[in-house]
């Protein structure tokens, strides 16, 4: 008899395309995923994945099992819900570290309000999540998503900086400035490309590890920085200056989801928090 747990591990490997990512998603060691897959292959007398240095690729039998296992596990979940209605459904959510979650508190509150039977957990990585608030550029292909916001970037300077009184600036104003870098920024390459194309000379003083530190370093007059607009806050020592670009550089923040209970999925898709139609 095939047990439920190996099927869950198989689904994770299939959807992630990687044993490592599947192990992270399931909060277990890699050998457990490998053992589960080999156990299924032995029981069914088939090969479920082709293995290579690039990862794993499902075989024809792997694709067949995925469809059957998905349906089976969904029915199993419905069975448990029908007879154990008081049990909460645990749904892990991943929040990208450089997203100011306070700016998206309405999204979290809307998710929590869908049902009292939902228990939201914090996932350490996107591989472990069923819901994510994440930059569209970092979104794995296994997720559906809708856009909840588009953020512009601002130049962050101290109030006594020479540019602090500007209503807006263009890239030419970057000439000669000393920057603190956001190495985790998804648009870092786009900014650097524009700087190079416009022959602008800037200096990097160092790198911040998160945006709270970044703002502190600017306060200490160690440099200026480019930061997403969701981090704008009232601060007597800081000024946030709009950057004029054509076309503008923005980041799209998405609410992403996968493998959710059907009623929860429907309610989530109908929440009044999106700015674009479904992908």
User: What's the CA angle centered on 118, arms 7 and 271, to 5 degrees?
Assistant: 105
CA–CA distance, 232 with 239 (Å, rounded to integer): 9
pTM of the predicted protein model: 0.72
Closest CA to 156 of 232, 214, 239: 239
221: left (phi over 0), alpha (psi -120 to 50) or beta: left
* Residue ranges of domains in the chain, CATH in brackets: 4-83 (1.10.10.10), 89-148+254-269 (3.40.190.10), 150-251 (3.40.190.290)
User: What percent of the chain stands above pLDDT 90?
Assistant: 56
According to DSSP, residue 88 is labeled: P
Q: With 70 as the cut, is the pLDDT of residue 170 above it?
A: yes
What length does the chain have? 279
Looking up tokens 């590890």 gives 209
- The full 3-state SS of 26-71, as one line of letters, equals HCCCHHHHHHHHHHHHHHHCCCCEEEECCEEEECHHHHHHHHHHHH
Residue 131: per-residue pLDDT:
94
The structure tokens listed for 8 are: 């869950």
Mean pLDDT estimate for the chain: 89
Residue 27: per-residue pLDDT:
78
Q: With 70 as the cut, is the pLDDT of residue 230 above it?
A: yes
Which secondary structure element, helix H or strand E, spans residue 225, and what is its range?
Answer: strand 225-228
Partners of 243 in the beta sheet? 169
What number is the average pLDDT over the span 117-134? 87
User: What percent of the chain stands above pLDDT 70?
Assistant: 96
Closest CA to 271 of 108, 96, 89: 108
What number is the average pLDDT over the span 182-189? 91
Residue 77: per-residue pLDDT:
73
Residue 23: per-residue pLDDT:
87
Predicted confidence band of residue 279 (pLDDT cuts 50, 70, 90)? very low
Residue 247: per-residue pLDDT:
83
pLDDT tens, 5-15? 999 999 989 98
128: left (phi over 0), alpha (psi -120 to 50) or beta: alpha
CA–CA distance, 237 with 137 (Å, rounded to integer): 32
Q: Which residues contact 138 (CB under 8 A, 6 or more apart)?
A: 96, 126, 186
According to DSSP, residue 248 is labeled: P
What number is the average pLDDT over the span 165-192? 93
CA–CA distance, 146 with 92 (Å, rounded to integer): 18
Q: With 80 as the cut, is the pLDDT of residue 251 above it?
A: yes
CA distances in angstroms from 10 to 73, 128, 237, listed in the order given: 12, 14, 53
């Amino acid at each position: 008899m095939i047990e439920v747990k190996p099927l869950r591990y198989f689904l994770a490997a299939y959807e992630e395309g990687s044993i490592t990512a599947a192990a992270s998603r399931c909060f277990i060691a890699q050998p457990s995923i490998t053992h589960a897959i080999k156990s299924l292959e032995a029981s069914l007398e088939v090969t479920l994945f082709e293995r290579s240095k690039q990862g794993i690729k499902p075989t024809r039998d792997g694709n067949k099992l995925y469809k059957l296992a998905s349906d089976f596990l969904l029915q199993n979940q419905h069975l448990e819900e029908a007879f154990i209605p008081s049990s909460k459904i645990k749904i892990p959510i991943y929040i990208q570290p450089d997203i100011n979650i306070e700016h998206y508190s309405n999204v979290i509150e809307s998710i929590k309000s869908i049902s009292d039977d939902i228990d939201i957990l914090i996932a350490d990585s996107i591989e472990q999540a069923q819901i994510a608030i994440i930059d569209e550029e970092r979104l794995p292909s296994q997720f559906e998503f809708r856009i909840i916001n588009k953020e512009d970037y601002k130049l962050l300077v101290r109030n006594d900086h020479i540019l602090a009184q500007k209503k807006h600036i263009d890239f030419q104003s970057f000439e000669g400035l000393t920057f603190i870098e956001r190495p985790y920024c998804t648009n870092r390459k786009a900014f650097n490309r524009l700087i190079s194309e416009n022959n602008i000379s800037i200096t990097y003083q160092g790198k911040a590890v998160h945006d709270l530190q970044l703002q502190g370093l600017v306060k200490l007059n160690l440099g200026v920085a480019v930061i997403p607009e969701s981090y704008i806050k009232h601060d007597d020592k800081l000024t946030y200056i709009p950057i004029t670009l054509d076309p503008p550089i923005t980041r799209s923040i998405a609410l992403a989801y996968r493998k959710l209970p059907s009623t929860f999925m429907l309610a989530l898709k109908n929440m009044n928090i999106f700015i674009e139609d479904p992908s």
